């Protein structure tokens, strides 16, 4: 650990090194090694005409000593690097969060580098005082945060707004990962169905009764009608005339909700009230969205193999998921079983409304026929 190492790590000559460059290099090696090298590194920087400041070197020794003793938290270290004056704040007061360094896409890397360069200009102009930051000066810290907030919200010459550009890239990455996971789950479901000796046949009489009841529910205010409408996306499109199409659309929506509840006039006021109780509808939709593709695949595959009369209570489904050989990496910790069971409680309740399970929470012939078809529909790309 010497000046050559710091220069190579930062990609800069000694005279151009910043406090951030030195801090990041010091953190790139073991804290004990960095502490031993600190005096010689300080002398080498002075000889190179870039002495930095006494406060910086004192803060470096303090931070490294705290790390070496095991007293420093990740937040402490992050705060110290940010006090160099050119390290972007990991999370701004408005809750913009930079992705971890090894998870940044091209846009995030570009914007992060642009912000570092912007902060370096502000340090050179005297607008940012690193010594005040490292001393814990609160007005200096607030000004540092506001400067970054402003930069993130200000359009660049090409029209891009840095904060939005980074967030959009993250969203695209999340959507791409979700689509990839969903495509894999669909292929696994189709493989499993292809291995069955006999595919379930449509029980027409059961479907007619379930569809009639379902139309009544969809026309009623409140739960469960409003949740079922949201799941199927019927608040934005007409309800199908065909009975099978209607039933499958709602059953598929439970596995992949298409929309939120319809907005009400006082929605913003409700969400601004932090003491309000979470509604049944919000709780149910949150549970549905929390279930993973693997949970659905394991549950539906097992029930389809078992056939009509199979126990389908939330507790039994949690066991089926835990014992499934169709998914990998499931931890059979009792806490995970309880969590899975809790997530499937509203699922089974909604299934009962569709006739997928009966009053004893066992799989019906309609559920045997419809569950795999509904799941396949939920995971198939939209036309």
| Cα separation, 193 vs 328, whole angstroms | 19
Q: Contact at 8 Å (CB) between 37 and 2?
A: yes
DSSP structure string for 328-352: S-----HHHHHHHHHHHHHHHHHHH
| Cα separation, 137 vs 83, whole angstroms | 10
Q: What would the mean pLDDT of 311-315 be, rounded to a whole number?
A: 95
Check residue 271 and give its pLDDT. 41
pLDDT at 57 over 60: yes
Tokens for 266, please give them.
Answer: 């006082």
- Comparison of pLDDT for 177 and 17, the residue scoring more: 17
| Cα separation, 250 vs 230, whole angstroms | 9
| Cα separation, 174 vs 135, whole angstroms | 39
The pLDDT tens digits for 73-113 are 999 999 999 999 999 998 888 889 999 888 899 999 999 99
Place of tokens 């739960």: 223
Mean pLDDT across the chain, nearest whole number? 89
Nearest one of 122, 133, 124 to 50, comparing CA atoms: 124
Check residue 268 and give its pLDDT. 40
The pLDDT tens digits for 246-282 are 999 999 999 988 776 654 434 444 444 445 566 888 8
Q: What would the mean pLDDT of 26-39 be, rounded to a whole number?
A: 94
pLDDT at 65 over 70: yes
Residue 247: partners with Cβ closer than 8 Å, 6 or more residues away: 207, 210, 211, 214, 354, 370
* Verdict on whether the full-model pTM lies above 0.85: no
Residue 1: partners with Cβ closer than 8 Å, 6 or more residues away: 25, 26, 29, 33, 34, 36, 37, 41
pLDDT band at 1 (very low <50, low <70, confident <90, very high): confident
Check residue 86 and give its pLDDT. 94
Q: What would the mean pLDDT of 180-205 be, rounded to a whole number?
A: 89
Q: What percent of the chain has pLDDT over 70?
A: 92
Phi, psi of 2 (to 5 degrees): -150, -175
Give burial (CB, 10 Å; 0-12/13-18/19+) of 259.
middle
Tokens for 166, please give them.
Answer: 């980074």
Most confident of 36-45, 177-186, 233-242: 36-45
Check residue 93 and give its pLDDT. 86
Q: What would the mean pLDDT of 156-160 be, rounded to a whole number?
A: 94
Provide the CB-side half-sphere exposure for 102 (13 A, CA): 0
Tokens for 83, please give them.
Answer: 């006090």
Q: Contact at 8 Å (CB) between 362 and 309?
A: yes
pLDDT at 236 over 80: no
Check residue 106 and give its pLDDT. 94
Check residue 296 and give its pLDDT. 94
pLDDT at 3 over 60: yes
The pLDDT tens digits for 315-372 are 999 999 998 888 775 455 556 888 999 999 999 999 999 999 999 999 999 999 999 9
pLDDT band at 68 (very low <50, low <70, confident <90, very high): very high
The pLDDT tens digits for 169-185 are 998 988 888 888 899 99
């Amino acid at each position: 650990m010497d000046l050559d190492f710091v220069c190579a790590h930062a990609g800069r000559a000694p005279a151009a090194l910043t406090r951030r460059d030195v801090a990041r290099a010091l953190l790139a090696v073991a804290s004990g090694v960095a502490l031993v090298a600190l005096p010689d590194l300080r002398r080498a920087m002075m000889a190179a005409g870039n002495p930095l400041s006494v406060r910086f070197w004192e803060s470096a020794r303090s931070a490294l000593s705290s790390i070496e003793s095991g007293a420093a938290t990740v937040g402490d270290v992050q705060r110290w690097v940010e006090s160099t004056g050119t390290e972007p704040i990991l999370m701004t007061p408005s809750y913009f969060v930079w992705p971890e360094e090894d998870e940044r896409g091209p846009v995030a890397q570009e914007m992060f580098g642009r912000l570092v360069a912007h902060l370096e200009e502000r340090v050179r102009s005297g607008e940012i005082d690193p010594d005040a930051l490292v001393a814990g000066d609160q007005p200096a810290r607030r000004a540092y945060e506001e400067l970054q907030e402003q930069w993130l919200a200000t359009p660049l010459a090409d029209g891009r707004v840095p904060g939005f550009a980074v967030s959009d890239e993250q969203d695209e990455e999340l959507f791409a990962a979700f689509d990839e996971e969903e495509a894999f789950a669909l292929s696994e479901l189709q493989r499993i169905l292809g291995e069955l000796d006999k595919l379930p046949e449509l029980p027409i009489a059961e479907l007619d009764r379930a569809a009639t009841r379902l139309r009544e529910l969809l026309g009623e205010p409140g739960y469960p009608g409003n949740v079922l409408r949201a799941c199927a996306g019927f608040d934005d499109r007409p309800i199908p005339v065909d009975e099978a199409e209607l039933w499958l659309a709602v059953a598929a929506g439970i596995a992949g909700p298409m929309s939120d509840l319809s907005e009400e006039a006082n929605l913003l006021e409700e969400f601004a009230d932090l003491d309000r109780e979470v509604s049944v509808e919000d709780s149910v939709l949150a549970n549905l969205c929390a279930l993973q593709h693997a949970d659905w695949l394991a549950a539906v595959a097992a029930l389809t193999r078992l056939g009509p009369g199979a126990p389908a209570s939330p507790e039994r489904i949690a066991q089926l998921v835990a014992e499934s050989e169709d998914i990998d990496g499931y931890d059979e910790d009792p806490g995970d079983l309880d969590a899975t069971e809790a997530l499937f409680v509203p699922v089974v309740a909604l299934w009962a409304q569709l006739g997928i399970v009966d009053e004893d929470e066992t799989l019906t012939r309609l559920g045997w026929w419809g569950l795999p078809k509904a799941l396949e529909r939920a995971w198939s790309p939209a036309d």
